[in-house]
Amino acid sequence: MAQIRKLEVLNFRCIRSLSWFPTPGINCLVGPGDSGKSTILDAIDLCMGARRTIQFTDADFTELAVDAPIEITITLGALSDRLKNLDAYGLFLRGFDAASGEIEDEPQAALETVLCLRLTVGADLEPVWTLVSDRAAALGSERYLAWSDRQDIAPTRIGSFSDVNLSWRRGSVLNKLSNEKADASAILLAAARDARAQFGDTADEQLSEGLAKVKEVADGLGIGDGNDLHAELDAHSVSVSAGTISLHNADGIPLKGMGIGSTRLLIAGLQKEAAAGSAIVLVDEVEHGLEPHRIIQFLNALGAKDAEPSLQVFMTSHSPVVVRELGLTPLTIARRGNHGPDLKRAGDHPELQGTARLFPEAFLAKSILVCEGATEVGFVRGIDQWCDDQGKGTLHAAGACLVDGGGGSDQMLSRAQAFRTLGYRSALFRDDDKRPSEAKETDFQLDGGCVFTWREGKKIEVEIFDSIPPDAVRPLLDIALEEREEQSINDQLKTVSENKVTLATVLAEVAASELSDASRHALGEASGKGWFKNISTMERVARDVIAPRATKLDKEFRKSINTIRKWCLNVR
């Protein structure tokens, strides 16, 4: 099974320069729009595809600079015996070191034997395909793959027009399933002759006026022998074009007329079955036309769960379903760099495996706010929901995503740092009662990450009750009382205050529109024992109680909330 070991691209569309080492199996490119993901698929398709002609335009050159040639080079490994034939390609066989990524011009025992394919397009817009070899160049020898070998390695592209693969045409996946061939030319020719005989002189009657004019012009030009002209069927006009023979169902309906999703699923399954000399598949927007459960089926058809992959797949996606199902290893994060896509493997950061399962949408976002736990996630979401109701900007519109950091101080920091390393705009939002390593947090900030905390030594519940006006206490207690008894809340207040504060004393103070420091402290500590410890409950706290009282909140508390929101909205 031929596989791509290395892809190098120069001056092609948004890619000024790119060097990438894809993996066997699935390579799923995720990232924001215009980061070059689809361009990478196009580069592979153009370099390896079996086409007689390809039209390029000035727009295919980076910044329209036609004086800098397009150059796409693919190092191809796992070669078949035909591609390693010394008589055909001996001068062009090279050695690839998987550990270093280096390519030696001559094959060596310790290296994988590879061929380097190159597509070059100059200012004349004429594509030229060659095999790369310094040895051959020194001898003045040039060549490319034989046409039959080009067909064998040509990737299958599953896209909007991939139904061509459901016909027995050149290069289609159906032709790769077996060596059988169907020849309909003789049958169609006989059918055309029968139709000609049955058609008879019908056309003469229907086209008599036109025939008379043709005869008049022909006679005037001295063309013909003066005899009458006739309109008849031409037996050879009914020809077998590519795709004449295609798959149909029992009712005679062509399968290529199925929906986009069904067509993609079928072709993926056929390609996996047909995997032989080449099994490289290209899929742009893998989720296109598919419901979530069929996305999973599609990924499985492409080998997502195979221990030994039979296909090498290059796909792009903007679907959290795809991220969750694939996990970290197949994901390549694409970010727009100075010279083209900046590609990094998500699998290099195993600390994000749980995040890929629980918060897959994070890998598709622009900014990541790693929150200490569910309480902080719910708090920020609740504030955002209230702001949305007021017609203000939202986190989703700004491309920001909230991630549960798992509660552990070092764990949440490592997740924030991993996202930062992968190229995301990343920040950490934590309580200040349990701090991560000061040195690691400083390194994170020096790397461009941001850290948001409550005031010194405080956790979120303590900060809330230290900062709200007295009229917010009763609504918060009502939310807490939905899941616990009054006696439980009273006992917790007494425990944390050494019997100095009870539920009755708190309610009495609230009735008098006041709240003592002792009561605030007791409420903060007691509520930290699980009153609002899930996302939906804290959403209500923030949306329905805190945000509507913004003008009454403690000034520093309100400032902290606004600072977090400005970062999420990328407001400078």
In the beta sheet, which residues pair with residue 336?
341
User: Mapping DSSP to helix (H, G, I), strand (E, B) and coil, where does residue 419 land?
Assistant: helix
Domain range annotation of the chain: 185-237, 365-572
Give 242's pLDDT tier (boundaries 50, 70, 90): very low
- Is the CB of residue 26 less than 8 Å from the CB of residue 330? yes
- Listing DSSP states for 438-484 in one string gives HHHHHHHHHTT-EEEE-STT--HHHHHHHHS-GGGHHHHHHHHHTTS
- 3-state per-residue secondary structure call for 526-546: HHCCCCCCCHHHHHHHHHHHH
Do residues 351 and 416 lie in contact, with contact meaning Cβ atoms separated by under 8 Å? no
Confidence of residue 100 (pLDDT cuts 50, 70, 90): very high
Per-residue pLDDT at 254? 57
How would residue 353 be classed by pLDDT, with cut points 50, 70 and 90?
Answer: very high
**Crossing angle of the two packed helices 517-527 and 473-481, in degrees rounded to 10:** 30
Res. 137 pLDDT band, cuts 50 70 90: very high
pLDDT digits (tens, 9 = 90+) for 278-307: 489 999 888 887 889 888 988 988 889 988
Report the 3 state secondary structure along 288-302: CCCCHHHHHHHHHHC
Q: Examine the pLDDT at 244 and tell me if it is beyond 90.
A: no
- Mean pLDDT (the chain, rounded): 87
**What are 398-427's pLDDT values in tens digits?**
999 999 998 777 899 999 999 999 999 999
Which own/partner contact pairs does 16-21 have at CB distance under 8 Å and 24+ positions apart?
16/62, 16/338, 16/339, 16/340, 17/339, 17/340, 18/339, 18/340, 18/341, 18/343, 20/343, 21/101
Q: Tell me the pLDDT tens digit for each residue of 526-540.
A: 999 999 989 999 999
pLDDT at 205 over 80: no
Residue 70 has pLDDT above 50, yes or no: yes
Is the pTM higher than 0.85? The answer reads no
Q: Specify the pLDDT at position 342.
A: 95
The alpha carbon torsion through 211, 216, 220, 222 (nearest 10 deg) reads 40
d(CA 145, CA 117): 9
Strand order in 331-336's β-sheet? 156-158, 280-283, 312-317, 26-30, 331-336, 341-345
CB-based burial of residue 54 (10 Å sphere; 0-12 exposed, 13-18 middle, 19+ buried)? middle
Q: pLDDT band at residue 115, thresholds of 50, 70 and 90?
A: very high
Give φ, ψ of 452 to 5 degrees.
-115, 130
